[in-house]
Amino acid sequence: MEHFIDHCCEKCFNSKEKPCDVFIECCLEGPLCHESESCKKAREAIINKYSHGSAFREH
């Protein structure tokens, strides 16, 4: 999972054709539709990759 649009596993269905209504929240706090530590870590990895400076998420 390189970007939020990539599926963390086969349970994620979000796409342009079938958008998920909790997609935005799921990017930051997900996964929201299933329990998975690895899927959670995949999202955290994206957030950590792009976050710089202590105030990046404090806005």
Partner 1 sequence: MYERHILICAGTGCISSGALEVRDALGEELEKHGIKDQVRIIMSGCHGFCEKGPIFIVYPDDIFYCGVQKEDVAEIVEEHLVNGNRVDRLLYQDPVSEERVNSHDEIMFYQKQMRLALRNCGVIDPENIDEYIIRGGYIGLKKALKMEPLAVVNEVKTSGLRGRGGAGFPTGMKWQFANSSTGQKKYIVCNADEGDPGAFMDRSILEGDPHAVLEGMMIAGRAIGADEGYIYVRSEYPLAIKRLRTAIGQAEQYGILGENILGLGFNFKIKIKEGAGAFVCGEETALLASIEGKRGVPRHRPPFPAVEGLWSKPTCINNVETLANVPLILRRGAEKFASVGTEGSKGTKVFALTGKVNNTGLVEVPMGVTIREVVFDIGGGIRYGKKFKAAQIGGPSGGCIPEEHLDLPIDFDSLTAAGAMMGSGGLVVVDEDTCMVDMARYFLNFTKNESCGQCIPCRLGTSQMYNILEDITEGRGKPEDLDLLEELAWAVKKGSMCGLGQTAPNPVLTTLRYFRHEYEAHVYEKRCPALVCKALLQYSIDQEKCIGCQRCAKECPVDAISGEKKEPHVIDQDKCIKCGACYEVCPKKVRAVQVLSEGLKQNEENRSCEEGCKCQS
Tell me how far CA of residue 4 lies from CA of 19, 28, 36, 47, in angstroms. 13, 9, 16, 9
Answer yes or no whether residue 4 interacts with partner 1 by CB under 8 A: yes
Answer yes or no whether residue 38 interacts with partner 1 by CB under 8 A: no
Instruction: Identify the three-state secondary structure at position 13.
Output: coil
Answer yes or no whether residue 30 interacts with partner 1 by CB under 8 A: no
Answer yes or no whether residue 48 interacts with partner 1 by CB under 8 A: yes
Q: Count CB-CB contacts under 10 A for residue 32.
A: 13
Residues that bind partner 1 (CB under 8 A): 3-5, 14-21, 23-25, 27-28, 45-54, 56-57, 59
